[in-house]
Amino acid sequence: MDEILKILRELDWSPLYISLKTGVVATIISFFLGIFAARKVVKAGPRVKAIADGILTLPMVLPPTVAGFLLLLLFSSRRPLVIFLLENFDIKVVQTWLGCIIAATVIAFPLMYRNARAAFELVDVNLIYAARTLGMGEVEIFWKVAVPAAGPGILSGTILTFARAMGEYGATSMLAGNIPGKTGTISQKIAMVIQDGDYLTAGIWVLIVMLIAFGIVFLMNLVSGKHMKQTKRW
């Protein structure tokens, strides 16, 4: 017990902070991109829908290391876009926290997109027709009618997206590396201390991750429970 307390006192908490802020930023980006993409795909024709759905869902079925390799090729320092960003704005992607955000967003985005799309497809079309008869514009209908009606599904997607972004390992390791205090996330820290044979520290980090995961699952069940109660009332 004393040994555990000593480790906790000396523990470097930067992996937790990096994971949390990466998860938050990646979730915000995925939220708006996922809703936008879901809206477009739901309105698209069958062929376009099938192709777009396959492309947007691809990062979810690819091994994270494959996605990380593709991102590494895309954001290589030899690419024209990266050279332009570096020379004009001093923005670098590889081996930076920006790389963590991009990798986490790419891996977590499909969860937001899939949940948002499923939620939009369940929205009662009569609500949309009623809003149009009241003279509301399409953008106003989307944000004031469709999004609130699809709220539980979107919220579930947001929570899952955050969980996936915060725990991302493979693509993040390849694109952002494992720089302590800069790009070193919890997942990378666990892998590193296990390689060093420090199973006690690894166990403490695993316990922290499990507590966060339990909180996320509890929040998910709370949201689902409220939605079920509301549905039952009707």
Predicted pLDDT at 233: 39
Position 213 confidence tier, pLDDT thresholds 50, 70, 90: confident
Assigned token pair, 171? 């693509």
Predicted pLDDT at 224: 63
Assigned token pair, 46? 């069958």
**Among the residues of the chain, which ranges form H helices?**
2-10, 14-43, 46-61, 64-74, 80-89, 97-121, 125-133, 138-141, 147-149, 151-166, 170-176, 186-195, 199-233
Predicted pLDDT at 234: 37
Predicted pLDDT at 98: 92
- Max mean pLDDT among 65-74, 101-110, 181-190, 204-213 falls in 101-110
The residue to which tokens 């699809």 are assigned? 150
Of all residues in the chain, what percent carry a pLDDT higher than 70?
93
What's the mean pLDDT when you consider all of the chain? 87
Q: What SS3 state is found at 16?
A: helix
Model's pTM, two decimal places? 0.87
Residue 81 clears pLDDT 60, i.e. is over it: yes
Gap between the Cα atoms of 71 and 74, Å rounded: 5
